[in-house]
Amino acid sequence: MSASRVAALGTGAARPAAGASGARRPVVAPTLPRQPLSATTNRPATVGRTPSGMTAKGKTAAAVGGVRRVPSAGAPRPRQSDVSAAARTPRSGGPDSRSRQGRMTAFESQLSSLQEMLDLERQKTTALLSQERAERTRQNEMVRAELEEELSEKFKIAKEAVSQRQASVTQEQLDEITFKHTRERRLLEDDLDRERQTVSALKASLGQQSTAQLTMESTNVALRTQLGAQADELEAKNASIARLESEVAQLRLSTSTLEEELRGAETLRRKLHNEVQELRGNIRVFARVRPALPREASAGLATLRFPDPREAAQIELLAAGESATGTATMRNHGFRFDRVFRPEATQADVFDEVSHLTQSVLDGYNTCIFAYGQTGSGKTHSLEGGSNLSLSVGADPSNDAEAGLIPRAVQMLWNTAESLQDKGWRYDFEGQMLEIYNEGINDLLGKDNIDSGKHEIKHEKGRTFVSDTVVAPLDSPARVFALLAKAKSRRQVAATLMNERSSRSHSVFILRVRGSNATTMESCDATLSLVDLAGSERLSNSGSGTDPTRLKEAQCINKSLSSLADVIAALGAAKSGGHVPYRNSTLTWLLKNSLGGNSKTLMLLALSPMAEHLSESLCSLRFASKVNSTVIGTARKVKGGDTSA
């Protein structure tokens, strides 16, 4: 191997790194540049002669260097330009066609010669290339063997150098390296501990998640089971709902039919109820004997008997009298009424008999209930109730034994009106409270305690109107009770010999009821008049003769009561077209539409059980008997918009 090639190989050897130990590092053998081979193509190589001075060694070197000239094996190859020129040169002599044919023949002959020369040159070139490849492979093998030997020697030398360099490393460097290694190890151990803790936490979390997953799976199974049960239950309920809906549809149809029948039954009930009331009489008289008060037990009681306790329609009173010869004797006075209440009868017992008339108001019939009797006989107690009665908001008078006819009737009207809503009826209520004192009218619901205004009574289209008086709309029983309490505190009262707190005026409570039924197209408009008459005692018994004011009051009271008797008597005789003297008193003129033949009237006679009141009781019984024997005709229903008087 030449020195230049060895030097080139030496420069390609790997050098040991500076500062490395004495151990030798492996040397990377250099890659020798390969000589480019001559391209073998179909194009003919340049034909020429080999220079005469080149030896076999020169040929080898030229082959190794990659540059080689192909020697010419025969005559020189003609140029393409010459061939083309020869092809284009026409032959002289003969016609043009022959000349061209001859030229073509010569040209083809030249092409065949050239093709043979080209094939010969290609064969020679292929043989030379094969020979050159074999020579180059042998030389490469020799060079590779030499390089491997040199690399092995240099590797040994480098290894010895590395060993020597490693031996030269000082102890300080070794300690530094050990310290760095220890620190890195400690850091790595810390990282490892943290990772272990993280792994432990992840394992614990994974355990919890696994437990939670198991719990959720069991819960899911339970919920699916429950859902299935609920789905079955829902299906059963849907079937039940469908069945119930079918039943509801049938019930609605049946209810509609029953409501229609019920409306017809209600109309029939009203008709039958009115017929029953007519059979009983459109003017009826009830007598009630109040019980004796504790302070009256020593004063002596009158002899009262009730012969027919089952029928409860008769009362007998034993009183002193004179025979035809003038001899004093005891006579038994008997009276018969529609109903007689004994002293032990309660407020509820009285209202049970009166409630039928109260029902007639909702059916469209004017109704009048007036209490008649001497002072202290219990008229106000029967109508309004005891002095200890307190009707608070929401209270039910039927639960209070002291409640009188007025609060019980009001409560019944509201309850019945609400029950009739299912039958299509809607009712509106309004009321007014008037007092007749000395033939004048005092509005007890007005602003002033003493009403000094002049009020005029008018009758239009079957209705009674009092000018300049308060007519209050009533939306609940509590509202009615509040108005009654206000009116009671303003009523004119005075002391007489008959009673320490005697009513010296007539009290009239008028409740107007208007109803309509959108289904049956029926309507009604009626009034309920509840009258608490003043005491009916005679002047000599009341002690009013010595007091001009009391005298005038007694005279006005007796005049109005006398006019009431005259009106009732005239109504009984009015069938023949007789005149009814309603205008004789303010009381009868006010009650014209409530006393006439188109209304239902009840007289509640209040009697005292005391012997000292025996004469007054007889007078009251005779007056009530006269009223009871009067027939005032048939009541007629008042419809909304009725124009009859």
3-state secondary structure 398-443: HHCCCECHHHHHHHHHHHHHHHHHHHCEEEEEEEEEEEEECCEEEE
Most confident of 218-222, 354-358, 384-388: 218-222
Residue 164, class by beta-carbon neighbours within 10 Å (0-12 exposed, 13-18 middle, 19+ buried)? middle
d(CA 122, CA 130): 12
pLDDT digits (tens, 9 = 90+) for 229-260: 999 999 999 999 999 999 999 998 888 788 77
N- to C-terminal Cα separation, the chain:
162
Q: What percent of the chain has pLDDT over 70?
A: 72
Instruction: List for the chain the helix, strand, coil content (%; round to 5).
Output: 50, 15, 30
Last residue of a domain, one of 139, 169, 199: 169
d(CA 316, CA 305): 5
d(CA 623, CA 636): 26
Cβ atoms of residues 493 and 480 within 8 Å: no
Q: Tell me which residue has tokens 């019920």.
A: 262
pLDDT digits (tens, 9 = 90+) for 30-81: 444 444 444 444 444 443 444 444 443 444 333 334 434 444 444 445 454 4
Asked whether residue 276 is domain-assigned, the answer is no
Q: Do β-strands 339-341 and 283-289 pair in parallel, antiparallel, or remain unpaired?
A: parallel
Name which of 577, 573, 592 is nearest 632 in CA terms: 573
- pLDDT for the residue 54: 41
Cβ atoms of residues 492 and 442 within 8 Å: yes
**377 annotated ligand binder:** yes
- pLDDT for the residue 68: 42
**137 annotated ligand binder:** no
Query: What are the backbone angles phi and psi of residue 605, rounded to the nearest 5°?
Result: -85, 120
Question: Span 7-17, mean pLDDT?
Answer: 41
Of the pLDDT bands very low, low, confident and very high (cuts 50, 70, 90), residue 175 is confident
Cβ atoms of residues 365 and 274 within 8 Å: yes
User: How far, rounded to the nearest angstrom, does the alpha carbon of residue 541 sit from its chain's CA centroid?
Assistant: 72
Q: Quick one: how many helices (H) and strands (E) in the chain?
A: 14, 16
Task: Name the DSSP letter for residue 448.
Answer: S
Asked whether residue 505 is domain-assigned, the answer is yes
What are the structure tokens assigned to 434, written together?
Answer: 């008037």
Of residues 636 and 318, more confidence is placed in 318
pLDDT digits (tens, 9 = 90+) for 536-545: 766 555 555 5
Note the residue count of the chain.
645
**626 annotated ligand binder:** no
Asked whether residue 208 is domain-assigned, the answer is no
What are the structure tokens assigned to 435, written together?
Answer: 């007092």
Q: Tell me which residue has tokens 């409640």.
A: 403
Most confident of 91-105, 185-199, 446-460, 522-536: 185-199
Task: Give how far Cα 7 sits from Cα of 11, 13, 378, Å.
Answer: 6, 10, 158
d(CA 207, CA 478): 73
d(CA 515, CA 525): 6
User: How far, rounded to the nearest angstrom, does the alpha carbon of residue 239 sit from its chain's CA centroid?
Assistant: 26
H-state helical runs in 18-95:
56-65, 80-88
**What CATH number corresponds to the domain at position 396?**
3.40.850.10
Give CB contacts under 8 A, 24+ apart, made by 262-269.
262/423, 263/423, 263/424, 263/517, 263/519, 263/520, 266/420, 266/423, 267/520, 267/522
Residue 5, domain extent: 1-30+81-169
Q: What percent of the chain has pLDDT over 90?
A: 28
Within the chain, what is the greatest distance between any pair of CA atoms? 215
Inter-helix orientation angle 548-572/614-628, to 10°: 30
Name which of 44, 39, 41 is nearest 119 in CA terms: 44
Of the pLDDT bands very low, low, confident and very high (cuts 50, 70, 90), residue 322 is low
**392 annotated ligand binder:** no
Asked whether residue 488 is domain-assigned, the answer is yes
Angle at the Cα of 67 from the Cα atoms of 66 and 69, rounded to 5 degrees: 140
Name which of 535, 565, 560 is nearest 550 in CA terms: 535
**379 annotated ligand binder:** yes
- pLDDT for the residue 72: 42
Cβ atoms of residues 352 and 286 within 8 Å: no
Q: How many CA atoms lie within 13 A of 575 on its CB side?
A: 7
User: How far, rounded to the nearest angstrom, does the alpha carbon of residue 607 sit from its chain's CA centroid?
Assistant: 62
CA-based R_g, the chain, Å: 72
Of residues 196 and 537, more confidence is placed in 196
**One-letter amino acid identity for 217?**
E
pTM for the whole structure: 0.56
- pLDDT for the residue 192: 93
Of the pLDDT bands very low, low, confident and very high (cuts 50, 70, 90), residue 25 is very low
d(CA 143, CA 56): 20
- pLDDT for the residue 310: 83
Of the pLDDT bands very low, low, confident and very high (cuts 50, 70, 90), residue 5 is very low
- pLDDT for the residue 29: 43
d(CA 352, CA 377): 21
Q: Tell me which residue has tokens 């035809």.
A: 324
**225 annotated ligand binder:** no
Residues near 4 by beta carbon (within 8 Å), at least 6 away in sequence: none
Task: Give how far Cα 157 sits from Cα of 12, 33, 143, 195, Å.
Answer: 15, 26, 21, 47
**374 annotated ligand binder:** yes
Asked whether residue 309 is domain-assigned, the answer is no
Last residue of a domain, one of 146, 169, 192: 169
3-state secondary structure 489-530: HCCCEECCCCCCCEECCEEEEEEEEEEEECCCCEEEEEEEEE
Asked whether residue 92 is domain-assigned, the answer is yes
Asked whether residue 397 is domain-assigned, the answer is yes
Last residue of a domain, one of 114, 149, 169: 169
**126 annotated ligand binder:** no
pLDDT digits (tens, 9 = 90+) for 488-505: 777 766 545 455 445 678
- pLDDT for the residue 40: 43
The DSSP secondary structure of 113-167, one letter per residue, reads HHHHHHHHHHHHHHHHHHHHHHHHHHHHHHHHHHHHHHHHHHHHHHHHHHHHHHH
Task: Give how far Cα 227 sits from Cα of 216, 356, 391, Å.
Answer: 15, 61, 58
d(CA 528, CA 532): 13
Task: Give how far Cα 242 sits from Cα of 229, 239, 253, 269, Å.
Answer: 20, 5, 17, 39
Handedness of CA 544, 549, 552, 554 (dihedral sign): negative
**One-letter amino acid identity for 75?**
A
Asked whether residue 431 is domain-assigned, the answer is yes
Q: Tell me which residue has tokens 């990377």.
A: 28
Residues near 509 by beta carbon (within 8 Å), at least 6 away in sequence: 406, 431, 432, 433, 484, 487, 529, 530, 531
Residue 57, class by beta-carbon neighbours within 10 Å (0-12 exposed, 13-18 middle, 19+ buried)? exposed
| Domain count within the chain | 2
pLDDT digits (tens, 9 = 90+) for 368-382: 999 999 888 899 889
Of the pLDDT bands very low, low, confident and very high (cuts 50, 70, 90), residue 612 is confident
